[in-house]
């Protein structure tokens, strides 16, 4: 069991750190766009669409990392005032909802991605870049969140039961 917990934490940590580098790609694209637009009066036709895809991918992929570092929003006014057992119970309740939510989004996201991939979907820009890879981020990100949710659910359940 300990191997499972360490593995899930490592996957969440690594995927989050890897996804964080996506921000730099977006910053570079936006910087190039600003320079080309305002200094050379020659804007690109692709920068806006790509930065949307990059930041959208980042948002989806960083979820498990944020979860492991307890960065998601919760009602701290209540959470901070209850004992550890009640905190564990609240975390378990939250995880159940999270698992249902991500459990629905994984197959729906996969279907959304596969439909796009099979039809060779491209954006509406003149360059017609493929967009299936962005849609793949949905089931991937949700699978990472689901895995982290199982990890937290098990960990907090053991704490609630008084086991390690």
pTM: 0.87
Q: CB within 8 A of 36, min separation 6: which ones?
A: 42, 43, 44
DSSP 80-111: TTS-HHHHHHHHHHHHHHHHHHHHHHHHHHHH
Nearest to 65 by CA among 23, 107, 3: 23
Nearest to 63 by CA among 98, 89, 108: 98
Summarize the confidence of residues 136-153 as an average pLDDT: 95
| 3-class SS of residue 130 | strand
pLDDT for res 141: 95
- pLDDT for 144 beyond 90: yes
Segments in the chain forming alpha helices (H): 2-34, 47-61, 63-68, 76-79, 84-118, 132-160
| Domain assignments of the chain as residue spans, ordered by start | 2-160
Quote the percentage of the chain above a pLDDT of 70.
99
- pLDDT for 164 beyond 70: no
Decide: residue 46, CB within 10 A, 0-12 exposed, 13-18 middle, 19+ buried.
middle
Quote the percentage of the chain above a pLDDT of 90.
66
Tens-digit pLDDT profile for residues 20-79: 999 999 999 999 999 999 999 999 888 888 898 999 999 999 999 998 888 877 777 788
- pLDDT for 135 beyond 90: yes
pLDDT for res 129: 85
pLDDT averaged over every residue in the chain? 90
pLDDT for res 78: 83
């Amino acid at each position: 069991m300990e191997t499972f917990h360490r593995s899930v934490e490592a996957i969440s940590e690594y995927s989050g750190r890897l996804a964080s580098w996506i921000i730099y790609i977006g910053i570079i694209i936006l910087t190039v766009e600003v320079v080309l637009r305002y200094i050379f009066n020659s804007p690109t036709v692709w920068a806006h669409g790509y930065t949307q895809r990059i930041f959208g991918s980042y948002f989806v992929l960083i979820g498990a990392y944020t979860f492991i570092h307890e960065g998601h929003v919760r009602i701290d006014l209540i959470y901070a005032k209850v004992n550890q057992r009640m905190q564990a119970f609240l975390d378990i309740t939250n995880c159940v909802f999270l698992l249902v939510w991500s459990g629905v989004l994984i197959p729906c996201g996969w279907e959304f991605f596969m439909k796009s991939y099979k039809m060779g979907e491209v954006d509406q820009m003149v360059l017609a870049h493929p967009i299936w890879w962005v849609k793949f981020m949905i089931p991937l990100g949700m699978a990472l969140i689901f895995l982290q949710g199982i990890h937290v659910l098990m960990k907090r359940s053991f704490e609630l039961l008084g086991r390690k």
